[in-house]
Each structure stands twice: as structure tokens, then as C-alpha cells.
Structure 1
Amino acid sequence: MSTSMYDEVLPRGERDGFGLRVGAIIDRGGEVLLLEVNSTGPIRLTHKLPGATVGPGESVAAALVRGVREETGLTVTGIRHHVGDFDYLSPAGKPVRRLHFAVEVKATGPILLSAHAGYLWVSLDRELRVTPSIRGILTAYKDLAATE
């Protein structure tokens, strides 16, 4: 798939009135990288995919590379597939679209966390502690990977 449409620099970091965020699916031999969100309360939070908010004057592809580097210390060397998107409202009530991509990285370690409690590599064949939206993205990725 061509990712050239994601190289467009977005003056306000948004498209079609939606703020944009990106998420990366990093695969290590059939396991994907999930990040553990910091929690100080009694509620067990879900895991998330590495990612970032697309900043003003930044392309989606550049935000993806930056987000993976900032959150994991890993270096993205290529974007393999656009896997899917979902929309939601931010805590401030603004519409956000989260775009997800399967990426290649230079190496799958070491993981250097900047803002998360931990990380884990998980098989997509087990029950995952992720939101329903992320579960849908990972199911789409699993289906896509099965056809490769």
C-alpha cells in the first residue's frame, strides 16, 4: 500500500475537522507491543499501542515515527500497512480520529519507556486488556497478517 497520502503536512494537525492521533502496531514474531498506562488508582487500566498526536505542521507519517521513538525508543524504518481507524471524543469533547499502521522497526529492543509503567509483547490469540476499539484494530491486523 502507498503511504504517500500520510506524508502530507497538516497545517493544524487535523483533517476533516478531526484532530489526528496515530497508533503503531509493532510485531515481533507474532507478538505485538502494548504499553502499560501509569495508574495511581484502584482501577486496572487497559494497555495501549504506541503512538502520538499529529502536531501542527507535521505529517501523519512523521508523527508515527516520532511517537514510536518517544514512547518506546524504537526506530521506525518503514510503514507496512494502514490497518484501520476509529473516531472518539477527547476528554475536552473534541472529535479525534486515530489512524493505525503496522510498522517495521530497526530492532525490537531495547524498549526505553518515557511515559508508561511498562510494556509487554502479547500474542493476538489471547485475551487482551485493551479497549474495544483497539481490539478491533488488532483483529483487523491479525486478519491482514494471515493473508501475507
Structure 2
Amino acid sequence: MWCDVWDYGISPGRSIGEQALADLQQRATAEGVALRVGVVLEHDGAVLLLAREEYSAGPRPLNLPGTTVRPGEPLADAVARAVLEETGLRVVDIVRHLGNFDYLDNAGKPVRREHFAVEVAAAGPIRLSNYAGYRWIPLDTDPPVTSSIRHILSAYRAGEPTQPR
């Protein structure tokens, strides 16, 4: 399947397996939750985290690249689109599923954020669109992220998916 982002054709490999992606998407639909994706990109033992503008209450936690899955959009396309739109990097393979967490959006509607480890064609240059900055944070540190993202990064380090939360 192809999706066009900024006039680039994207069709990443799916080491994770096409059926695994379809099953995750079907489960979210059956459970009536909106679907988002989060992506872990590693380079030289560090993970890419994105920073929003700071605000008066102090620095915000860092984020993984991610996006909302559009109606009818396959998960593989959403993963590739998220990385390309937010970082300018091209996903070449979706390696594995890292788990998910559910939450309520600002309108009180249920959302599920599925997380994936990916390989990219190159680790740079980074071209941000929605963020003020980025940092490559070593995986062996305790990054300034939410507890849910910390759980996903722990699963990534352990080489296993997390259990749904």
C-alpha cells in the first residue's frame, strides 16, 4: 500500500507482518477507540525525542514522533507518514510492535496509541514541522518523558512488546 506525503511515495517494509498490523487496527475499530501511532527511532544507542515549546509551568516532557491514523489509512502508512511529516526521515521498515496505552482525548473520547520500532533510511538531517527541537537521548538513561512513554521505551530496550495498559 502506498501513501503520498509531501509528494513522496512511501511503502515501508513490514518485518512486523501485515496481519499483525491489520489485527491491531481491527481491534481498535471493534473496541470503538480512535487510533494513534507512536514511533521509536534508534540511532547509535539513542532514541529520537521531540520537544515542544516550553511554557510558563516549565519544560514539557519530550515526545516520540506520532500521529493520528486517518479513517481508512493502513497502520503502516500512518507510521511512515508520522515520521516523514514530523522529522523528514523515511521509514524503510516497521520492525516490531512495542505495545500500546489508552487514554481520553481533550473531548473525553477514548484513544489508543500503538507504538512501533522502525528503521529509517538515514538518521538525518532532521527537519521538524510541529516541534521546536529534538534530542537523541541515550537509551540507558531516564529520559524526560511521560510514564506511559517510559513504559514503551522500557519495552523497546527489553526487546518485547508491552501488555496493553
Q: Same fold (TM over 0.5)?
A: yes
Deviations 1:69-88 (A, max 9, x none): 00000000000010110011
The residue number in structure 2 matching 1:47 is 62
What amino acid sits opposite 2:20 in the alignment? M
What amino acid sits opposite 2:136 in the alignment? W
Deviation at 1:6, TM superposition (A): 1.8
Q: Identity of counterpart residues, as a percentage?
A: 48
Report the more deviating stretch, 42-51 or 71-80: 42-51
**Which of residues 123, 133, 138 in structure 1 aligns to 2:148?**
133
Mapped pair 1:121 → 2:121: no
Mapped pair 1:6 → 2:16: no
CA distance in 2, matches of 1:94, 1:32: 30
Q: How many correspondences in the alignment?
A: 143
The residue number in structure 1 matching 2:44 is 29
Mapped pair 1:99 → 2:114: yes
Deviation at 1:14, TM superposition (A): 4.5
Deviations 1:81-114 (A, max 9, x none): 1011001111111100000000000000000000
Deviation at 1:44, TM superposition (A): 1.4
Mapped pair 1:73 → 2:94: no
The 1:34–1:92 alpha-carbon spacing in structure 2 relative to 1, beyond 3 Å, is same
TM-score by length of 2: 0.80
CA distance in 2, matches of 1:134, 1:3: 25
Deviation at 1:21, TM superposition (A): 0.5
CA distance in 1, matches of 2:18, 2:158: 20
SS of 1:64's equivalent in the other structure is: helix
Deviation at 1:126, TM superposition (A): 1.3
Note the residue ranges of structure 2 that are not aligned, 5 or more in a row.
Answer: 1-15, 161-165
Q: Is the CA contact 1:22–1:54 (under 8 Å) kept in the aligned structure 2?
A: yes
The 1:17–1:122 alpha-carbon spacing in structure 2 relative to 1, beyond 3 Å, is same
